[in-house]
Structure 1
Amino acid sequence: MGVLVFAVGYVVALVPLICAPMAIGLAAGARTDADGVPILGAEVDTAVALASLAVALPLVLLTARLIQLRPPGTVSSVVGRVRWRWLGVCLLLALAATLVLFGLDLTVTAALGEDVDDSATWASMPAVLATTAMLLALVPLQAAAEEYAFRGWLLQAVGTYVRGPWLPIAVQAVIFGSAHGWGTAWGFGALLVFGGATGWLAVRTGGLEAGIALHVVMNLASFLLMAALDQLDSDQTLTDATWHTAVLDAFVVCLYAAVVARLARRRPLETVSPDRPLWTEPQPQVPTYPAPPPLPTHQPTDAPH
Structure 2
Amino acid sequence: MYIEQAKKLKSHPILFFILPAGFIFLMIVNTIMSAGIDTNEVIKNAIDTIGVNATFVMVIAPLSIALFIVLFWAKFIQGQSLTSLTTSRQKIDWKRVLFSFSIWAGITIVMILVSYWASPENFVWNFNSEKFFVFLVLALLLIPLQTSFEEYLFRGHLMQGLGLVTNNRLIPLLVTSILFGLMHIGNPEVGKVGYIIMVYYIGTGLFLGVITLMDEGLELALGFHAANNLVGALLLTADWTAFQTHSILKDVSEPSAGFEIVLPIFVIFPMLLFLFAKVYKWNNWKERLTGSLQEISE
* TM-score, normalised via structure 1 length: 0.68
The residue number in structure 2 matching 1:262 is 278
Question: RCO greater where, 1 or 2, for CA within 8 Å and sep 6 or more?
Answer: 2
Note if 1:195 corresponds to 2:205: yes
Please tell me whether the aligned partners of residues 95 and 217 of structure 1 are also in contact (alpha carbons under 8 angstroms).
yes
1:104/1:162 Cα in 2 relative to 1: closer, same or farther (>3 Å)?
A: farther
The residue number in structure 1 matching 2:136 is 132
1:5/1:198 Cα in 2 relative to 1: closer, same or farther (>3 Å)?
A: closer
1:93/1:11 Cα in 2 relative to 1: closer, same or farther (>3 Å)?
A: same
Which of the residues 158, 169, 172 maps onto 1:168? 172
The residue number in structure 2 matching 1:87 is 97
Q: Deviations over 1:146-166 (max 9, x none)?
A: 111111111111111224322
1:180: how far off? Answer: 0.6
Please tell me whether the aligned partners of residues 223 and 232 of structure 1 are also in contact (alpha carbons under 8 angstroms).
no
Please tell me whether the aligned partners of residues 214 and 282 of structure 2 are also in contact (alpha carbons under 8 angstroms).
no
- Residues in 2 aligned to 1:81 and 1:210: alpha-carbon distance in whole angstroms: 14
Please tell me whether the aligned partners of residues 212 and 218 of structure 2 are also in contact (alpha carbons under 8 angstroms).
yes
The residue number in structure 2 matching 1:297 is none
Please state whether the residue corresponding to 1:55 is helix, strand or coil: helix
The residue number in structure 2 matching 1:246 is 261
The residue number in structure 1 matching 2:152 is 148
1:105: how far off? Answer: 4.7
Q: Deviations over 1:183-217 (max 9, x none)?
A: 22331101111100110111110111111111111
Please tell me whether the aligned partners of residues 75 and 81 of structure 2 are also in contact (alpha carbons under 8 angstroms).
yes
Compare CA radii of gyration and give the structure with the larger one: 1
The residue number in structure 2 matching 1:68 is 78
Which of the residues 205, 208, 222 maps onto 2:215? 205
1:99/1:254 Cα in 2 relative to 1: closer, same or farther (>3 Å)?
A: farther
- Residues in 2 aligned to 1:153 and 1:52: alpha-carbon distance in whole angstroms: 18
Q: Which amino acid in 2 is paired with 1:91?
A: F
Q: Which amino acid in 2 is paired with 1:222?
A: G
1:181/1:8 Cα in 2 relative to 1: closer, same or farther (>3 Å)?
A: closer
1:220: how far off? Answer: 0.9
- Residues in 1 aligned to 2:46 and 2:271: alpha-carbon distance in whole angstroms: 47
Which of the residues 107, 126, 146 maps onto 1:122? 126
Please tell me whether the aligned partners of residues 61 and 142 of structure 2 are also in contact (alpha carbons under 8 angstroms).
yes
Please tell me whether the aligned partners of residues 78 and 273 of structure 1 are also in contact (alpha carbons under 8 angstroms).
no
Superposition map of 1:49-64 within 5 A: 49-64=59-74
Please tell me whether the aligned partners of residues 116 and 122 of structure 2 are also in contact (alpha carbons under 8 angstroms).
no
Gaps of 5+ in 1: 13-32, 278-305
1:95: how far off? Answer: 2.5
Alignment length, in residue pairs?
A: 242
Please tell me whether the aligned partners of residues 186 and 241 of structure 1 are also in contact (alpha carbons under 8 angstroms).
no
Please tell me whether the aligned partners of residues 6 and 63 of structure 1 are also in contact (alpha carbons under 8 angstroms).
no
- Residues in 1 aligned to 2:103 and 2:295: alpha-carbon distance in whole angstroms: 27
Q: Deviations over 1:265-290 (max 9, x none)?
A: 179xxx9999654xxxxxxxxxxxxx
Please tell me whether the aligned partners of residues 196 and 257 of structure 2 are also in contact (alpha carbons under 8 angstroms).
yes
Q: Which amino acid in 2 is paired with 1:247?
A: V
Which of the residues 235, 241, 244 maps onto 1:235? 241
Please tell me whether the aligned partners of residues 105 and 245 of structure 1 are also in contact (alpha carbons under 8 angstroms).
no
1:101/1:150 Cα in 2 relative to 1: closer, same or farther (>3 Å)?
A: farther
Superposition RMSD on alpha carbons, in Å?
3.5
Q: Which amino acid in 2 is paired with 1:66?
A: F
Q: Which amino acid in 2 is paired with 1:52?
A: P
Q: Which amino acid in 2 is paired with 1:169?
A: L
Q: Which amino acid in 1 is paired with 2:185?
A: G
Please state whether the residue corresponding to 2:217 is helix, strand or coil: coil
* TM-score, normalised via structure 2 length: 0.69
1:224/1:66 Cα in 2 relative to 1: closer, same or farther (>3 Å)?
A: same
1:10/1:199 Cα in 2 relative to 1: closer, same or farther (>3 Å)?
A: closer
1:143/1:241 Cα in 2 relative to 1: closer, same or farther (>3 Å)?
A: farther
The residue number in structure 2 matching 1:46 is 56
